[in-house]
Structure formats: C-alpha cells, structure tokens
Chain A
Amino acid sequence: MSRPLAQISLFAVALLVGVLLVGQLRSQARPTEISSLSAQELSQLVDQLSERNRQLRAALADLQQTLREYNAAGTQGQSALDVSREDLRRITAFGGLAPVEGQGIVLQVTGDLDAIALNDLLNELRNAGAEALAVDQIRITNRSVAIQGPVSLLIDGHQVGRTFTLSAIGSPEGLLSTMERPGGIIAQLQQFIDASIVATQSTVITLPATDISLVPQVAKPVE
C-alpha cells in the first residue's frame, strides 16, 4: 500500500470508529427523551403538565387583569394604590410573608420521622397543589427545610417535636387523595418508619406569616 493511501485509509477508519463510539456512548446514556418513559409514566406526565399549564393560563389571566386595572386606574390616585395594595397582599401571601386562611388538610404526625421524611412530606404536599404550609406554627417558605438538630428536628430554627401538626391549604379532596393513595407518601413512610400519620380535611385552616426575614443579604436584583 502506498504511504499516502494508507494514511487516508487509517484516517477514514479512525473517523468511523470515533463516530460509532460517540453514537454508542450516547445510546448508553440515560434516554431522557420522553419516548423512553413507560406508558404509565407518560400518562402521569401528561396529567402533571396539563395541570401546570392550567395554572399558567390562570396566572397569565390574572396578570392581564392587573394590567387592565392599572390602565383603568391611570398612573396615580386611589385606584392605582388599591391595585398595588392588592398585588402586595397576593405576593406576601404567596411567599409566606403574610398570614393566610382557607380549606385544606391537616396531618397529625407522631413518630420517628427524620429530616428527609419530613422534607419529603412537604414536597409531596406542594406537588399535590398545596398553596401554603405550616408545621405546627412554623410557616413554610421557599427557604424552609427540616434539618436534624441536637435534640430534635429543626425548621427555621424552631424545634419540631416527635408529635406535630402539618397543615396544608389547598383542595381538600385533591390533597387528601394524593397523600392517602396506595403506595403514596403516607403508605411509604408508615412502611419504613415507626410513625402514625392521620390526615383529615379541614374547612378552616389559619397559617401564620413566617417569623424569619427573607430579605437577602448578598443577592441583589438584576438591574
């Protein structure tokens, strides 16, 4: 074989090996595309995305309504002040800076829950559509997580005893069915942890505002 021809052949073969190896490595990586999920998982995802899109449409409608109210009120005067005050009430309630009330469910928990289990409970309630949460009288904010303290669990510096109440405002039926479904979070926790978790619907739940400051110390608004 002449030397240039051999070099070209070897280059071509090496290139082909490279391309095939990359293709193989990619195919062995987790198939994250949605077609790799099972039919049941895909159905679950369709439900989740549909519900979240419904929430987004509602959010967009609310924002457009706020804009219409501002336009109707003009840029000054009592009406504009009312719109801004209403916006402030909404946002402080959303973030846990203001007390709220409404329907929902209450979980009476007794047992040896660790921090992971309590955080999982909070996450499951949020995913089920809980709008506001509190553990005993500790309002849950974006920053609130359960951690193991020296003698008990702690949330936002407050002790959480072996027996506590977890209150969630949201659709009582939706929250309850999610929490109590077979194989759901309560069933899982009761299987692996020595705990009693009793969920009941409630027509009036009142949750306090958080007592910690959420004002950031180093995070600054992007100009």
Chain B
Amino acid sequence: MTAAARNRRRPQAGWAVSIALALCVVGFVGAMQWNSSVAREAFTTSAQQTLARQITTLEGEQNDLRSQIAAAEAEVQRVQAEQTSDSAALKQVNDQLAAARLSVGLTAVTGPGVIVEIADSKRVVPQGENPANFIVLVDDLRDIVAALWASGAEAIAINDERLVATSSIYGVGASVLVNTAFLSPPFRIQAIGTDGLLDRFQASPAFRGRVAHRIDFFGLEFAAQAATDLQIPAFVGSTRFRWAVPREDGP
C-alpha cells in the first residue's frame, strides 16, 4: 500500500469510530428513554387517571372563574371611578377604597425590587439519596417569601400569584398550591421594595437558615437579582369573609 493510500484511509477510520460511538450513545439513551417511559406509564392507575382528569377540569373551571372575577372587579372599580366626579362624600370613600386596595394587594403594582428564581436541581440523584432533597419544596418557597417580607418587601407574587393576608403556600406531594392556583417549578418570585432589598434578603436569617443551605448542598437552581421596573398583578380571589365580621369601630 502506498503512503498516499494509507493517508486516505485514516480519515475514513476516524469517521467510522465517531459514528460507532454516536450509535452507542443513541442505543444507550434510547433504551433509557424507553425504560423510563414504560415506568411512568405503569405508575398511573385508572383511579389516578380519573382523579387527574377531575383536577384538569377543576383547573379549567378555576381559570374561567378567575377571568370572570378579574372582569367584575375591574367593572366595580370603573363604576367607583365614575362616581368620584359626582359627590364629594363618595369621592372621599372611593379614594379610601383605592388606597385600601393598594395596601392589601388588590391592585396591580409596579416598582423596583427583586426577582428570585428557584428550580429543581439538575444533579443526578446519588444512589441511596432521597430524590425529594433535589427538588424545590414548599418550605423553600415559604422561607424565601418570609425572608423577602422580613427584608421590607411591599408586594410579592409567586409565578404571578399575588400574596395577600389570607394566602397560604401549601404543599401537596411535590406540588405547590398558592392561593387557589396549582404552581409548578421553576418558581419566579417577584418582590417590590425599597433600595437594598436584594442585599437585605440575601443576608436575612430566614433565607440563610435553611433554603440557602439546600441550594448549596443539593444544587437547587437559584438566581436572585435586583430589578428596576417590576410589575406584580393584583390578587384574584375571594375577599369576602364568611366568619369574620368587621367591627363597628373600624373605618
């Protein structure tokens, strides 16, 4: 064989090795993909499927109700705004109403603040480790929110769910309910507050105590940054109490 012929053959051998390696990867990943698909399919029983369908229906119903509430709320505020030009007493009460709505989270707000994002770890769960350690838990969200309030936040929303006096952050399995909404990671927490909110948040014991440790130890995806122009939506939901009655000595 001449030297020229040997040189022509070397690149061909290189191609062959590359393609063989790539095919091995294809085979390996394909097998894993197939196996995991089968496992997920087997996990879902008919009872679970029925319940999952109910949840999908309830979520659809909820979206519809929330749209209707937002529209009705906007209509009430439009009527109140129109009234202000007609009567001084009415204008005074409606101004108080607007101020109260702003204070308690019933008005969409804008301003400077902080965006905190947290998502499940991308690390491979080591053998023998609890996989739950590597996902965002409801406690992580509660700690972040507590740290933000403690640092002087004036308005907070998690994935656009505005937090108000009756809001709870509730865990169902590995899932999270905030107000009436079922939220999934990644979680984006927006908080409006005065200068230095980010520094105060990151130094807050509520943040440093537990969630910061989990971020470092389990590799939860995390980012926090200051922002100059956030927009946080108004709370959409029930503001009418069934059990608590305003006292006469109130406003």
Task: Label chain A's interface by main secondary structure.
Answer: helix
Most A-side CB within 10 Å, residue of B51, B164, B167, B243: B243
| Residue interface bits B101-132, CB-to-A below 8 A is 1, else 0 | 11111111111110000001000100000000
Contact A30 B120 (CB under 8 A): yes
Q: Tell yes or no: B203 within 8 A of A by CB.
A: no
Q: Tell yes or no: A28 within 8 A of B by CB.
A: yes
Q: Which residue of B lies closest to A217 (CB)?
A: B194
Q: Tell yes or no: B210 within 8 A of A by CB.
A: yes
Contacts A35-B44, A91-B106, A99-B249; is A67 near B79 (CB within 8 Å)? yes
Contact A91 B100 (CB under 8 A): yes
A-B contacts counted at CB < 8 A amount to 350
Give Cα A140 to B168, complex, Å.
13
In the complex, 11 of the A-B residue pairs with CB atoms within 8 angstroms, ordered by the A residue number, are A37-B174, A42-B55, A49-B180, A55-B237, A56-B69, A56-B238, A76-B87, A99-B246, A123-B142, A142-B164, A218-B113
Interface residues of A (CB under 8 A from B): 1, 6, 9-10, 13-14, 16-17, 20-21, 23-24, 27-32, 34-39, 41-46, 48-50, 52-53, 55-60, 62-64, 66-67, 70, 75-77, 80-81, 84-85, 87-104, 115-116, 119-120, 123-124, 126-127, 130-132, 140-148, 169-171, 206-207, 209, 214-222
- Further contacts, 13 of them, CB under 8 A, given A10-B22, A70-B79, A97-B251: A30-B135, A56-B62, A56-B65, A59-B237, A76-B86, A85-B93, A88-B97, A92-B250, A116-B146, A143-B153, A169-B241, A169-B243, A218-B154
